Structures are given as structure tokens and as C-alpha cells.
């Protein structure tokens, strides 16, 4: 029962579409009608509003952190991980947006930070290095997701390696269109205004 409650809690927190809410509140319209159509920080950045993109990033990270920590406090560590994955599902498939949400990168990063700060930090460093080298956010995101289970395994935390592999699978699956654009050489660069 606690696992189901944790999953529901995580889903509800994760499904808050901060990018959409912030851009509408700022008078920028529906973020889903520009760029990738995504509700996440990278697409918000395409509006040219860096402050809103940073706020979206921070709030999307926070909902992953909050889901894991709240469930962990209420029902234990396993429930915390379940809630963290629920937050990713909520972000990627929010019921109130027709199950069409974001890709889960920031929310997943928040979940990893809350599960083990060193794991989240390691994934973040991989994202930064890859994004800096390529200037492509999706490349950084997928590299970070692939690195997370490896980092956890090297640390001997096979539970976190398996958990972060699940996160990686969801994020990479949500990046199917990005992968096609990367292969075609048409994936947009970070900060390109639409």
C-alpha cells in the first residue's frame, strides 16, 4: 500500500507542468506551440527568457527531490525511490496535458540528487561536459543518464544502478525524436531562440 501511495504522490508532484505555467503567466503563450513542443527548461529557453528557463529547471528538479524525500520520510527508502520514479512518470505523462509532458531530465536529476547526492552530482557533471562540448542539451541529457548507472555500479550501489538504469531507459525513450534529429544533424543547439 505504501508503494502505491508513494507512486501516486510522486506522479502528482511530477505532473505539475512548471514550464507551461510559468510561460503562460509571463504572457509568452503556450510553450507547447514552439520549438520541440516540450514543457521543460530547454524549450522554455527557446523563448529567449533565461530567467523563466532557470526557474523551470529549478522547479522541475525540486519536484523530483520533493517526491523522493517526502515518501522516504513517510514510508521508507524504497517508497522514496518509487515516488521518485512516479515523479518522472508524472512529468513525462501528465494526465491534465493529455499524457504529453516533458522528457524527465531535470526531474530525474532531482530524483538522483535526492537518492544519493554524489550520483546526482556525477550525472550533472557528465551533462555539463557533454552539453558544453556539443552545445546540444539532448546529447548531454542522454550521456548523463547512461553515466548514472555506471557511476552507481562503480560505487558498489547496485540498487541505485538498477534504479538509475530505469530512469535512463525512460529518458532515452522520451528522446526518440531527438535521437533521430541527432542522427540527421538537425538537433537544435542550446539557447537557440525560436
Q: What is the pLDDT of residue 188?
A: 80
Domain assignment present for residue 120? The answer is yes
DSSP state at residue 187? P
How far, in Å, are 31, 83, 141 from residue 5 at the CA level? 31, 8, 29
Is residue 68 domain-resident? Answer: yes
Q: State how far the alpha carbon of 162 is from the alpha carbons of 70, 83, 149, 171, 172, in Å.
A: 21, 15, 7, 14, 15
pLDDT at site 76: 95
Q: How many domains does the chain have?
A: 1
Residue 24's domain spans which residues? Answer: 2-96+103-184
In a domain, 189, yes or no: no
Q: Is pTM, for the whole model, over 0.95?
A: no
Instruction: Examine residue 192 and state whether it is found in any structural domain, yes or no.
Output: no
Q: Is residue 194 over pLDDT 90?
A: no
Q: Residues 78-107: what's their mean pLDDT?
A: 95
pLDDT tens by residue, 22-69: 999 999 889 998 877 889 988 898 888 999 999 999 999 999 999 999
191 within some domain: no
Please report whether residue 193 resides in a domain: no
Residue 148 inside a domain? The answer is yes
**Distance from C-alpha of 25 to C-alpha of 16, rounded to nearest angstrom:** 14
pLDDT tens string 142-193: 999 999 999 999 999 999 999 999 999 999 999 999 899 999 988 888 755 5
At residue 142, the pLDDT reads: 95
Residue 10 falls inside a structural domain: yes
How far is CA 83 from each of CA 47, 69, 134, 160, 177, rounded to the nearest angstrom?
Answer: 31, 9, 33, 14, 27
Residue 42: its pLDDT value, please? 83
Amino acid at each position: 500500500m505504501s508503494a502505491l501511495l508513494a507512486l501516486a504522490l510522486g506522479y502528482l508532484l511530477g505532473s505539475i507542468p512548471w514550464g507551461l505555467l510559468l510561460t503562460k503567466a509571463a504572457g509568452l503563450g503556450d510553450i507547447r506551440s514552439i520549438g520541440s513542443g516540450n514543457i521543460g527548461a530547454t524549450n522554455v529557453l527557446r523563448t529567449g527568457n533565461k530567467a523563466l528557463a532557470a526557474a523551470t529547471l529549478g522547479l522541475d528538479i525540486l519536484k523530483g527531490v520533493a517526491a523522493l524525500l517526502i515518501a522516504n520520510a513517510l514510508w521508507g527508502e524504497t517508497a522514496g525511490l518509487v515516488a521518485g520514479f512516479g515523479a518522472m512518470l508524472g512529468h513525462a505523462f501528465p494526465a491534465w496535458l493529455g499524457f504529453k509532458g516533458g522528457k524527465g531530465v531535470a526531474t530525474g536529476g532531482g530524483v538522483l540528487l535526492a537518492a544519493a547526492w554524489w550520483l546526482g552530482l556525477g550525472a550533472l557533471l557528465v551533462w555539463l561536459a557533454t552539453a558544453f562540448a556539443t552545445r546540444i542539451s539532448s546529447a548531454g541529457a542522454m550521456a548523463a543518464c547512461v553515466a548514472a548507472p555506471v557511476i552507481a555500479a562503480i560505487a558498489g550501489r547496485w540498487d541505485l544502478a538498477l534504479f538509475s538504469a530505469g530512469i535512463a531507459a525512460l529518458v532515452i525513450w522520451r528522446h526518440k525524436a531527438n535521437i533521430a534529429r541527432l542522427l540527421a544533424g538537425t538537433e537544435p543547439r542550446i539557447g537557440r531562440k525560436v
